[in-house]
Structure 1
Amino acid sequence: MNHQHIITATQHWLTSFIIAYEICPFARHVHEHDAIRYRVLDSADVADCLAELIAECQHLDTEPATETTLVIFSAICRDFDDFLDVTALAEQLMVDLGYEGIYQLASFHPDYCFGGAEPDDAANATNRSPYPMLHLIREASIELALQNYPNPEQIPERNIALCRELGLTRIQALLAQSSR
């Protein structure tokens, strides 16, 4: 699959689900201001992918106009458990390199399942995406956005309720449209 197809599918997921249903109430602003960087990684080597993730941190260090980066894995982490392992390595690497508190790492996967949840619980859809991906977010931007958002601690509960109301079938259809 070529990079443009993967990016287009990711953008469709972002606009038709994340923004349309306000899963992340801060995504609309960065999307409308073209401040999201999409980076597709083709390597099947974990070390290469981690090196590219850190390169994206360095990009954010030097490019203030880029608000956030979606690092999309096209050839690795198809299995959710493998993805969790890579995510844990990425989080530790960011701590080791001094990026803790500068960038937050959020994770998304087609088969995302919260610990203790059933795989068919629609609540898992809050972190489901067309491809495995890690999202680098500027901590300072999050703090600023939260200052102007009422009751941000209620976002996860609202999203869970919304996803359960929408139902897994409808959400899976939205994700399937993104993957075409």
Structure 2
Amino acid sequence: MPACNETVIAHTRLWLEKAVIGLNLCPFAKAPYVKGLVRISVSRAKHLDGFLEDLDRELQLIGSTPPDKIETTLLVCPGLFGDFLVFNDMLDSADRAVADNHLEGVIQIAPFHPDFRFEGTEAGDITNYTNRSPYPTLHLIRESSISKAAEAFPDAEAIFGRNMALLEQIGQQGWDDLQIPRGPHHK
């Protein structure tokens, strides 16, 4: 039985609060989150076409809404993309959707998945957890937000390395202690 939308959103919020913000994996996430400017939308698509339609709707919404109403959007898809490689293959279509909606240079997409794996890493490598979320998720980020964040944090490139070191320090047990739920289709 798939988790209801409220459960999916609650799990996603827990991940944001405990991992993304709690571990400071993204130093720019806390401000929009506490201001209520992070939209979490659940796609119930059963096929790629339906998901891309949901993505189009979210892109159009964020593209037409001022940042003081919606700063960023997480499009969560709990029933599709259980296989990380299928999810990864979908990212080209997601990037095309940004272009098709005339949002190149306006919106970027960052992928998160329960089984996320950086190229050249082993599946169990703790550093993959920087991009692991309870469910397959696309983060729709305003490029203007990225620019502002880069001004506030000039050494933004160092965040990735700091995150890798932090996760290696806390290890699998430290991550497990966060008790972040994982969708039913994932290990």
2:40–2:74 CA contact under 8 A, matched in 1: yes
Contact 1:67 1:138 in 2 (8 A): yes
Q: What is the count of residue pairs matched by the alignment?
A: 179
Deviation at 1:47, TM superposition (A): 0.9
Deviation, 1:177, is 3.4
Query: Deviation per CA, 1:21-69, whole angstroms, max 9, x where unpaired?
Result: 1100010001000001111011111011111111111111222110000
Aligned to 1:23: 25
In the alignment, which residue of structure 2 is the partner of 1:126? 130
Partner of 1:2: 4
Contact 2:63–2:103 (Cα < 8 Å) also in 1: no
Residue 133 of structure 2 contacts residue 182 of structure 2 at CA under 8 Å; is this kept in 1?
no
Percent of paired sites with the same residue? 36
Asked if residue 178 in structure 1 is aligned to residue 177 in structure 2, the reply is no
Paired position in structure 1 for 2:102: 98
CA distance in structure 2 between the partners assigned to 1:177 and 1:148 by the alignment = 29
Aligned Cα root-mean-square deviation (Å): 1.4
- Normalised by the length of structure 1, the TM-score is 0.94
Deviation at 1:179, TM superposition (A): 4.0
The aligned counterpart of 1:58 is 60
- Cα separation, 2, equivalents of 1:150 and 1:43: 39
2:153 is paired with a residue whose SS is coil
CA shift, 1:95, in A, is 2.5
- The SS at the match of 1:107 is strand
Question: Does the 8 Å contact 1:130/1:179 carry over to 2?
Answer: yes
Larger mean CA deviation between 24-33 and 143-152 belongs to: 143-152
Q: Give the TM-score normalised by structure 2.
A: 0.91
Whole-angstrom CA distance in 2 between matches of 1:15 and 1:87 = 25
